[in-house]
Amino acid sequence: LAKTTQPISMDSYEGQEVNITCSHNNIATNDYITWYQQFPSQGPRFIIQGYKTKVTNEVASLFIPADRKSSTLSLPRVSLSDTAVYYCLLGFQKLVFGTGTRLLVSP
Amino acid sequence: DAMVIQNPRYQVTQFGKPVTLSCSQTLNHNVMYWYQQKSSQAPKLLFHYYDKDFNNEADTPDNFQSRRPNTSFCFLDIRSPGLGDAAMYLCATSRGTRGEGYEQYFGPGTRLTVT
């Protein structure tokens, strides 16, 4: 299975845009890219999924370049409640969680 | 309304005493998964069921078993819990395992303590 690499942690302030990049050099042709958010003592929650180009939903955008070797989760105008761990996953038949990025949003 | 329900939320068991964790879903999804998540680590897939077909991960210890008696319910059995099995156990469901729409819906987890 292809491996993902994310920054271990990021800091931001309320109202800022946060971009978390995930590297996946060995992504397989069939792999989709999925991002999950996890709060302490809760199960992960699906944020967004994409295959190529750009995907946007009500909470985030996902940017995927043409070579698909990386992806960027963009969170517009973060709030304190966005403090969480964010996981980038690749998968077609099953998902493997990487180490995740711990985002801390401060006032 | 809760879609993936796990009971209990907290479970304490003794070293070597069998324990069962339960998961139910109201989504009518075909696939149900069990993950183990230890403190400050990412969730690790133990196994999953696609309908009645059981799919075990190669590195899942034999101590962990699962049952899925019907679409809605799935159980995780730990036959002889060791101290190293203390963790959060997460149940998840998905409609399928291929392609778009593969997102998983997670329950709140059961935190297992082994004394």
Residue A24 lies in a domain: yes
* Chain A residues 3-42 with CB within 8 Å of chain B: 30, 32, 34, 41-42
A35 inside domain: yes
Task: Look at residue A55 and tell me if it is in a domain.
Answer: yes
Chain A: nearest CA to B28, how far in angstroms?
A: 18
Which structure tokens are listed for A50? 């994409």
Q: Indicate whether A94 pLDDT > 90.
A: no
Q: CA-to-CA distance for A16 and A60, rounded, in angstroms?
A: 13
Q: CATH code at A48?
A: 2.60.40.10
The total of structural domains in chain A comes to 1
Tokens of A36: 């999950």
A4 lies in some domain: no
pLDDT for the residue numbered A2: 64
Interface residue of B29, B45, B103 to substitute, partner A, most A CBs within 10 Å: B103
End-to-end CA distance of chain B: 34
Strand pairing category for B110-114 and B10-13: parallel
Q: Does domain B4-114 have CATH number 2.60.40.10?
A: yes
Does the pLDDT at position A91 exceed 80?
Answer: no
Share of chain B above pLDDT 70, in %: 95
CA angle B29, B25, B99 (to 5 degrees): 25
Q: Which two tokens mark A70?
A: 């990386």
A77 touches chain B (CB under 8 A): no
How large is the average pLDDT for residues A11-18?
Answer: 97
Q: Beta A9-13 vs A101-106: how paired, if at all? A: parallel
Could you report the per-residue pLDDT of B18-73, keeping only the tens digit for each? 999 999 999 999 999 999 999 989 999 999 999 999 999 999 999 999 999 999 99
Q: Residue B109 is nearest to which of A32, A43, A99, comparing CB atoms?
A: A43
Between CA A84 and CA A37 the distance in angstroms is 6
Q: What is the mean pLDDT of chain A?
A: 92
pLDDT over 70 (residue A92)? no
Q: How far is CA A82 from CA A32, B4, B40, in A?
A: 24, 22, 18
Is there a domain that residue A36 lies in?
yes
Structural domain including A100 reads 9-106
Residues 6+ apart with CB under 8 A from A11: A103, A104, A105, A106
Q: Is the peptide bond before B69 cis (omega within 30 degrees of 0)?
A: no
CB–CB of B34/B47 below 8 Å?
Answer: yes
In this prediction, residue A32 has a pLDDT band, given cuts at 50, 70 and 90, of: confident
Coil, strand, or helix at residue A87?
A: strand
Domain segments of chain B: what residues? 4-114
Q: Is residue A95 part of a domain?
A: yes
Q: What is the mean pLDDT of residues A8-20?
A: 97
